[in-house]
Amino acid sequence: MDTRDKLKMLADASRYDLSCACGTADEEHRRRGRDGAWLYPVTLASGGHSIMLKTLLSNACSNDCKYCPFRGEADTPRCTLQPREIADVFMDYVRREGIFGLFLSSGVVGTPDRTMEMLNATARILRSKHAYRGYIHLKVIPGASNAAIEEALGLASAVSINIETPGKRHFDLLSARKNYEQDIIRPLKLISEKTAPGARFERVRKTTQFIVGAADELDREIVRYTFGLYQRLRLNRVYFSAYQRGLGSPDIPGERRTEAQPEQRFLREHRLYQVDFLFRKYHFAEEDIPFDSNGNLLMDRDPKLAWADRHPERFPVRANTAGRDDLLRVPGLGPTTVSAILKIRARQRLRRLEHIPLKGKRLALAGAYLAFD
């Protein structure tokens, strides 16, 4: 295989890791580059979108993650790109397609630190030889040493290490070789410490990902961990990837469970993203999220609407006098609409529902929870 063939295979294999970008709007969809590699959208800090080359360095792996189609015992074609190969082809993409950055992950080639050295070497070549000053997202390999992680922080614009499950008990169902506390939680805590406000690497973004449904975790557990990752470790984003049956070992809960159809699995992923948005944009706390009697999110309504229906004492909200946080609790109103309402209120009173800058079903939904003078 030549470099382009390897890149096509490894870029396609990287689709299982969402810890960089995902979305449903047209501008958020991935697309194929000229050579078949996947180019992913990225939301820029200044607003708008750009695109990023996303690939594995290698799909060879010495780990035994039972949910992963590239686990060590899986029978699948393997290949590896060398750091200089990735750097050269990436700079070719920069010149030809004007892409924004690079997301680089890898299977474990031998040992975590050997793999980290290859990932870091790619970034060093880009930063030194090519004088590339753009976006580089490096995956931190579970079990990597503190020194390897700190080197990655010095080279990258963003880093991520996937937490996979909420807690050791669930994690142990998916891997016998990895140690949850030492290989996952220790690097997460170190990254949080080294990127804290005022620390040397505070500019570096950090993200993680849960594999949803491979183990036997409850939504309540994922939500508790997600809130803690934001509050205690100050992560910038948490991502959720619904486990796809047929990829992993037949002895894991995600393969044995038969009642969850694909659409239910993706709806569960969607509900977790809605909770994540409530944490990041709506000032919701862990205790605000409603669950069913089994400890899972409701499938028949989104968590914000479910919260509103369980708290009738908080409604109706007065459109002309309520504060921003109270308005954000109104179903149908998002941060952009609430900001627009506050601007309108500075000039005039809102006398009827039609003065709310919304249309259609969202306006009708909000109307059931708002009061006007």
Q: For residue 122, what is the domain's CATH number?
A: 3.20.20.70
Q: What are phi and psi of 252, to 5 degrees?
A: -90, 155
Domain that holds residue 364: 312-371
| 189 and 260 housed in the same domain | yes
Record the tokens describing residue 267, joined without a space.
């709806």
Residue 301 lies in a domain: no
Residue 298 lies in a domain: no
| 21 and 151 housed in the same domain | yes
| 261 and 320 housed in the same domain | no
Residue 177 lies in a domain: yes
**274-326 residue pLDDT tens:** 999 999 999 999 999 999 999 999 999 999 999 999 999 999 999 999 999 99
> Which residues on neighbouring strands pair with residue 138, listed in sequence order?
104, 159
26: pLDDT strictly greater than 70: no
Tell me if 136 sits within 8 A of 157, measured CB to CB: yes
Amino acid residing at 287 = E
pLDDT band (50, 70, 90) for residue 244 = confident
**37-90 residue pLDDT tens:** 666 665 554 555 567 888 999 999 999 999 999 998 888 899 999 999 999 999
| 328 and 220 housed in the same domain | no
Residue 348 lies in a domain: yes
122/46 Cα distance (integer angstroms): 27
| 179 and 36 housed in the same domain | yes
Q: How much is the mean pLDDT over the chain?
A: 90
23: pLDDT strictly greater than 50: no
pLDDT for the residue 99: 81
4: pLDDT strictly greater than 90: no
Residue 269 lies in a domain: yes
pTM score = 0.91
Domain count, the chain: 2
**351-370 residue pLDDT tens:** 999 999 999 999 999 999 99
Residue 292 lies in a domain: no
**126-182 residue pLDDT tens:** 999 999 999 999 999 999 999 999 999 999 999 999 999 999 999 999 999 999 999
* Most distant pair of Cα atoms in the chain: their distance: 71
67/219 Cα distance (integer angstroms): 18
Amino acid residing at 319 = A
Residue 18: CB atoms within 10 Å: 20
Where is average pLDDT lowest: 28-42, 85-99, 202-216, 342-356?
Answer: 28-42
3-state SS class at 38: strand
| Residue finishing a domain among 268, 285, 302 | 285
Pairing between strand 31-32 and 205-212? unpaired
| 273 and 336 housed in the same domain | no
CATH number of the domain encompassing residue 337? 1.10.150
Sheet of strand 135-139: strand arrangement: 31-32, 38-43, 49-56, 101-105, 135-139, 158-160, 205-212, 237-242
| 229 and 359 housed in the same domain | no
125/130 Cα distance (integer angstroms): 7
| 199 and 331 housed in the same domain | no
Tell me if 117 sits within 8 A of 149, measured CB to CB: no
| 218 and 95 housed in the same domain | yes
85/337 Cα distance (integer angstroms): 47
